[in-house]
Amino acid sequence: MSFQPKSLCVFCGSKNGNDPTYVEEAKALARMMAKKEIELVYGGGSIGIMGIIAQEILDHGGRVTGVIPEFLQKHEVGHHGLSELIITESMHERKRTMFEKSDGFIVLPGGLGTMDETFEIMTWKQLRLHNKPIIVLDTKDYWQPFHQLVEATIAGGFAHEGVRDLYCLVKTAKSVFECFEDIPDVLEEVFTSHL
């Protein structure tokens, strides 16, 4: 089924990473989102790829909602020029709020926090708590170890092979939107095989 999101949550790093391609692809994605009038929902930061993608969308006339816990806002890493900034009491509330405000999820290169967000939103989908698309932007093969870990859970007998359909792995920002053209439904067995 084809999917036309009004808002997308982007999980990404609070650092730029060691390869400039990470930033270039984030900017390309931001420009496409702004052109398609898709609102960005993200972690509210002003630093790293988080800050770059938010500013790029704002610079191109798009709408950006940031969601940041109060303790991070106190460290002055929050972006102060957003369309909307929501301050939460905890990281858990932050993730729940980003989930509720988004039609789907895009994962860019990032650190432990990005991995945490990605695994949690995938687990929620596995448990059939949502059926929103999850697109992993594998810039410069950054997410290959993640993909291999998912394959290892299948090979080891800890996950149904249908978990492959929990996310779509793409190589370029342009391919993110091509992936929306055919999003498979997650098999019931992906959940029930664990019961």
Measured CA to CA, the distance from residue 107 to residue 78 in angstroms comes to: 20
The number of residues in the chain equals 195
Q: Return the pLDDT at 107.
A: 98
pTM of the model: 0.93
Fold of 7-192: Rossmann fold (3.40.50)
Domain ranges of the chain: 7-192
| Dihedral pair phi/psi, residue 45, rounded to 5° | -80, 160
The predicted structure's pLDDT at residue 195:
57
Cβ–Cβ < 8 Å for 49, 13: yes
What is the structure's pLDDT at 182? Answer: 79
What pLDDT digit, counting tens, does each position of 73-85 carry? 877 688 889 999 9
Better-predicted residue by pLDDT, 186 or 97: 97
